[in-house]
């Protein structure tokens, strides 16, 4: 049996000695939550099989159970390759939803809370010669916990803009062999003025004090720079002057390779192949700037769902294809919406020069109570830490649509401000939006709005007085919000618009179960006219610096994508591309 998703899951940090644990695992549903008491972690087998890394709700898992699963168990036997012997062994989980308890050979070795971030643990001391057993217990009760869960449906069935749940393992599981002291993570900083790449390197293991860290950079296999430094703690800072500067930019995924290694005299203890990009992304007078040049964001909403894998792409090629099809349609980036995308997607975004916003699936999190910060901040901190060095990530946004008339719980200003301030301190190199859409608690550099008005003439009217500091976005138009916040004249980012319903299976208007914004167009020409008029109206406004169309493809019953759920174009992509590729006012 071939291993599904066999490619390296974390291409920004690759070692030669690693083993993919995807494929067939034993599996059992434990809705009585009694598995720990019954010591499932000591059993010789579980009652069924599952294909990892696909969640049990998906068809690719071999299970396809769409019902609630409050607790599930996994079991996998493995034997270490001979070349792993004499090394520390790290077990990695790409993502597991939601509360994980890991057992090795019947002994609990770690727990992790959070359904979207990677975690790892050193299992060396729990291993034995020959066969070893991983057992994983996952608790996932979206109706009980104050649990960030994004667009996963809290009801039995999908509805509106909520979709099939994703329980348990949904990203690659792997092990790797590292040194007694090893490189655990790194953050990249670009000193463009001096042509220097700077790195903060986090170390793991023990015995690294007094050793030497070396860094060798290259570009297209040509040596570009070298530096070394003594290690005095578990964080090491090193600067590498570069012989040549190749900027990462939109459509230009220029990436440097860099090898970090730890040396004890003339002996290498650990070595890892990484990559980075040299670029700046900031906010200027007219809007977003990359490498000091003003750009107009022609972005699209991407929710990271797949018909047969749900949260998990069936292949690595599918991740790449979503980006290529977006570019084909004339978009130059994306909002990665209500989900933390896997590192392989970010790798392709890095390679293809495709800017994205790093966001968090906050829906399901209680925004009304400050005490709830404990349910989101540790996970959000893990997102920033893991994805910091991806040049494709141009900004952070921890929250989305946190206040709206009809919501049972309204946002607590302290929560929004706290997450914003934490993000700015954790990464001062990128712009941050406090909460995407609706009511803001922070005067950010850019004014973010969601507007699904379908009449372009009204859109033109609502945003015609931005140069005088007057806006009529939804926070002004809805009586509940009128006067609650003030626009300070910032450039405007329309981070959601359009969402035009077009159901290919049920033309001309779609079934009642099909979901989108506004009245469905009666014909393809009417759809294209509406798309064109809305897009051009925003692009022709000199105070609007970026737009993001909802959305790239349909997801289940939500039929407002420019492609179907199985990624077929609904319209001639060249027509969409011509509309998107027009020069915006700020570019003229």
186-208 confidence digits (pLDDT tens): 999 999 999 999 999 999 999 99
pTM listed for this prediction: 0.97
Give the C-alpha separation, 288 to 276, whole Å: 21
Q: Evaluate the omega torsion of the peptide bond into residue 527 and state whether it is cis, within 30 degrees of 0.
A: no
Query: What is the phi/psi pair of residue 322, to 5°?
Result: -60, -40
Q: Decide if 16 contacts 45 (C-beta within 8 A).
A: no
Mean pLDDT, rounded, of the chain: 95
Q: Which of 264-273, 393-402, 411-420, 482-491 has the lowest mean pLDDT?
A: 482-491
Percent of the chain, pLDDT > 90? 88
| Domain residue limits, the chain | 13-178, 181-276, 296-366+392-587
pLDDT level of residue 235 (50, 70, 90 thresholds)? very high
At 400-418, the pLDDT tens digits run 998 876 666 788 999 999 9
The answer on pLDDT for 376 being more than 80 is yes
* E-strand stretches of 248-386: 256-264, 267-276, 281-283, 288-290, 293-294, 297-302, 333-336, 356-359
Would you state the pLDDT for residue 509? 58
Q: Nearest-CA neighbor of 201 among 176, 220, 182?
A: 182
At 426-476, the pLDDT tens digits run 999 999 999 998 889 999 999 999 999 999 999 999 999 999 999 998 888
The answer on pLDDT for 228 being more than 80 is yes
Structure tokens at 476: 């002004």
Would you state the pLDDT for residue 405? 62
pLDDT level of residue 581 (50, 70, 90 thresholds)? very high
The answer on pLDDT for 332 being more than 60 is yes
Q: What is the topology classification, in CATH, of domain 181-276?
A: Immunoglobulin-like (2.60.40)
pLDDT level of residue 145 (50, 70, 90 thresholds)? low
CATH of domain 13-178: 2.60.120.260
Contacts of 204 (CB under 8 A, 6+ apart): 122, 178, 181, 182, 183, 184, 234
Would you state the pLDDT for residue 518? 86
Residue range 541-545: average pLDDT?
97
Would you state the pLDDT for residue 512? 60
Give the C-alpha separation, 12 to 346, whole Å: 10
Give the C-alpha separation, 197 to 109, whole Å: 37
- Architecture of the structural domain at 296-366+392-587: Alpha-Beta Barrel (3.20)
The answer on pLDDT for 146 being more than 80 is yes
Would you state the pLDDT for residue 117? 97
Structure tokens at 452: 């699904």
């Amino acid at each position: 049996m071939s291993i599904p998703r066999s490619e390296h899951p974390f291409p920004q940090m690759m070692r030669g000695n690693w083993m993919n644990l995807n494929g067939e695992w034993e599996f059992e549903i434990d809705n009585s939550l009694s598995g720990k008491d019954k010591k499932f972690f000591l059993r010789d087998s579980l009652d069924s099989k599952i294909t990892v890394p696909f969640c049990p709700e998906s068809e690719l898992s071999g299970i396809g159970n769409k019902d609630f699963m409050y607790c599930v168990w996994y079991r996998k036997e493995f034997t270490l390759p001979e070349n792993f012997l004499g090394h520390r062994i790290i077990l990695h989980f790409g993502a597991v939803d939601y509360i994980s308890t890991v057992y090795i050979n019947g002994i609990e070795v770690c727990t992790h809370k959070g359904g979207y971030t990677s975690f790892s643990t050193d299992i060396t001391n729990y291993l034995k010669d020959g066969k070893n057993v991983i057992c994983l217990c996952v608790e996932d009760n979206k109706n009980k916990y104050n649990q960030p869960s994004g667009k996963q449906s809290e009801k039995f069935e999908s509805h509106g803009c909520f979709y099939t749940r994703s329980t348990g393992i949904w990203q690659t599981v792997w092990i790797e062999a590292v040194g007694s002291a090893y490189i655990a993570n790194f953050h990249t900083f670009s000193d463009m003025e001096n042509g220097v790449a700077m790195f903060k390197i986090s170390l793991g293991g023990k015995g690294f004090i007094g050793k030497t860290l070396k860094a060798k950079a290259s570009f297209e296999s040509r040596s570009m720079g070298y530096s070394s430094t003594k290690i005095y703690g578990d964080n090491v800072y090193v600067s590498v002057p570069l012989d040549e500067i190749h900027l990462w930019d939109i459509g230009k995924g220029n990436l440097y390779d860099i090898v970090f290694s730890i040396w004890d005299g003339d002996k290498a203890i650990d070595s890892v192949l990484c990559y980075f990009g040299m670029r700046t992304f900031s906010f200027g007078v007219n809007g977003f700037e990359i490498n000091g040049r003003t750009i107009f964001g022609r972005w699209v909403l991407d929710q990271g769902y797949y018909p047969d894998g749900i949260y998990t792409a069936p292949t690595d090629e599918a991740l790449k294809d979503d980006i290529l099809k977006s570019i084909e349609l004339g978009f130059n980036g994306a909002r990665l919406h209500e989900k933390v995308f896997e590192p392989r997607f970010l790798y392709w975004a890095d390679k293809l020069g495709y800017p994205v916003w790093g966001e968090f699936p906050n829906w399901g999190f209680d925004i009304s109570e400050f005490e709830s910060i404990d349910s989101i901040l540790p996970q959000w901190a893990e997102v920033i830490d893991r994805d910091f060095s991806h040049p494709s990530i141009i900004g952070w946004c921890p929250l989305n649509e946190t206040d709206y008339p009809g919501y049972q719980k309204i946002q607590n200003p302290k929560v929004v401000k706290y997450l914003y301030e934490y993000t700015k301190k954790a990464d001062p190199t990128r712009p941050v939006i406090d909460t995407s859409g609706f009511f803001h608690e922070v005067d950010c550099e850019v004014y973010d709005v969601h507007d699904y008005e379908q009449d372009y003439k009204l859109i033109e009217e609502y945003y015609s007085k931005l140069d005088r500091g007057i806006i009529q976005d939804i926070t002004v138009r809805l009586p509940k919000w009128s006067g609650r916040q003030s626009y300070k004249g910032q450039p405007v980012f329309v981070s959601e618009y359009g969402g035009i319903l077009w159901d290919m299976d049920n033309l001309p208007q779609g079934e009642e179960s099909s979901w989108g914004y506004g009245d469905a167009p009666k014909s393809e020409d009417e759809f294209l006219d509406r798309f064109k008029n809305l897009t051009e109206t925003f692009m022709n406004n000199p105070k609007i610096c970026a737009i993001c169309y909802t959305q790239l493809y349909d997801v289940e019953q939500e039929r407002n994508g420019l492609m179907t759920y199985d990624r077929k174009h609904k319209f001639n992509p060249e027509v969409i591309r011509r509309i998107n590729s027009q020069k915006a006012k700020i570019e003229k």
